[in-house]
Amino acid sequence: MNGVLYPLCAGIAWISLLFKLPALSRGDRGPAAVAVGFFYLFMGLTFTISDPRVWALLDRVTGVPNLALLLSQGSVIGVAASQLAALTFWGHEPERARPVVRRQIWGFAGVLAAMAVLFTLADLTEEDTTTAAVRYAGHGLYSVYLMLYVTAFAVTEYLIVVRCLRYARAVGGAWLARGLRLAAFGAAGGLAYVLARYADVVAGPLGLDPQRWEVVARLGAGLGGICTLIGWSLPGWGPQVSGLRAHWRDRRAYRALYPLWAALTAANPDLALDRDAGRRAGRDLNFRLHRRVIEIQDGLRWLRPARDSTDLVDPDLRAQFAAVAIADALADPVRTGAGTVPEPPPQDTDTAWLVRVAGAFAELGAGSAQR
């Protein structure tokens, strides 16, 4: 699992950092953005070093067995610290946040120094690229090292969960709120990893096999890491997804309005600014869609279909009645103008309502052709 899930997490982290670098290189970057950049960096280091191939390479190059264990778990502390710093800068004014973050950094630096000392004193002379954390969990000083590491990580992950959920309720942006909730879910996965590591320490004295729940640790770290990475990056690319969805919605609406627009402009060519406009819009989609909606509305005011559907509750049935009234008016060579313009129901915008009517109108035409 380490050879598949961890490289995937590393790839997501490095790609996220690459997309973040242009913003970080600008002079207007804030301290929270810098902290998020460090989060991507430490995430990339954590999962890159945890790859068994990189692990073995580090051991060969440095000559220190299982050095990757200290480096990867030290990077995990960096992951937690950078997230906590970003949330601290978001929650307070910079003048108040900086001394708090400075104390946090000194605290994490103390944890890392103690971890380095305990790792050096522990007897981890036999290389193990995949199960070292489990294999040595109940061994002397390494068990103290592991307890220090997971406790510091657990406290930080708990604070991250609490603050992400709190800020998600307070922020205005929908994508930012979603990202914070997803980051909180990822941090909860980190807590599952912590529980598995605590269980590793007590497994030996209790005669239990820690490999039985190692999958929990790896999934908690891997899937939790992916959720956290996506959560922190979501505010950056999420609005672009919304923009793409809106673009395709508008493109579908432009095509859907064509049958009704074509029928009205055929009856009154003066309605159309561009009489050669077809089903598909090329450039200037927003302008073309706006024009099509306006021209249909102008056509309905000119046509004044006689059948009123404003008392109907169901919007689709209301659209069908409006479409029948339009078709009847277009078929009548003498238009008296005695009817009312179909009004959209409260839940629809003008465009959405006209798309409903155009769809019903197109179905009428298809039904007539079949008959």
pLDDT, tens digit (0-9, with 9 covering 90-100), for 200-209 = 877 767 777 7
State the pLDDT at residue 172: 79
Residue 2 has pLDDT above 70, yes or no: no
Rounded to an integer, what distance in angstroms lies between the CA atom of residue 94 and that of residue 220? Answer: 33
State the pLDDT at residue 132: 59
Tell me which DSSP letter residue 278 carries: -
Helix (H) or strand (E) holding 162: helix 140-170
Q: pLDDT class for 1, splitting at 50, 70, 90?
A: low
Rounded to an integer, what distance in angstroms lies between the CA atom of residue 94 and that of residue 85? Answer: 11
| Range scoring the smallest mean pLDDT among 5-19, 20-34, 186-200 | 20-34
**Residue at token pair 């099509």:** 292
Rounded to an integer, what distance in angstroms lies between the CA atom of residue 41 and that of residue 54? Answer: 17
Mean pLDDT on 140-169:
91
Residue 227 has pLDDT above 60, yes or no: yes
Rounded to an integer, what distance in angstroms lies between the CA atom of residue 165 and that of residue 87? Answer: 11
Among the listed residues 119, 112, 154, the one whose alpha carbon sits nearest the alpha carbon of residue 133: 119
Q: Which of 149-163, 186-200, 318-332 has the highest mean pLDDT?
A: 149-163
Residue 16 has pLDDT above 70, yes or no: yes
Mean pLDDT on 334-353:
64
Distance from first CA to last CA of the chain, Å, rounded?
62
DSSP 317-369: HHHHHHHHHHHHHHH-SS----S-PPPPPTTS-HHHHHHHHHHHHHHHHHHHH
Rounded to an integer, what distance in angstroms lies between the CA atom of residue 168 and that of residue 195? Answer: 26
pLDDT, tens digit (0-9, with 9 covering 90-100), for 147-157 = 899 999 999 99
Rounded to an integer, what distance in angstroms lies between the CA atom of residue 319 and that of residue 43? Answer: 53
pLDDT, tens digit (0-9, with 9 covering 90-100), for 230-242 = 999 998 888 888 8
Contacts 24+ apart (CB under 8 A), 239-245: 239/175, 242/175
Task: State the average pLDDT for the chain.
Answer: 84
Residue 310 has pLDDT above 70, yes or no: no
DSSP 196-260: HHHHHHHHTTTT--GGGGHHHHHHHHHHHHHHHHHHHHHHHHHHHHHHHHHHHHHHHHHHHTHHH
Among the listed residues 117, 163, 118, the one whose alpha carbon sits nearest the alpha carbon of residue 145: 118
Which pTM does this prediction carry?
0.76
Query: Nearest-5° angle of CA 195, CA 198, CA 204?
Result: 135
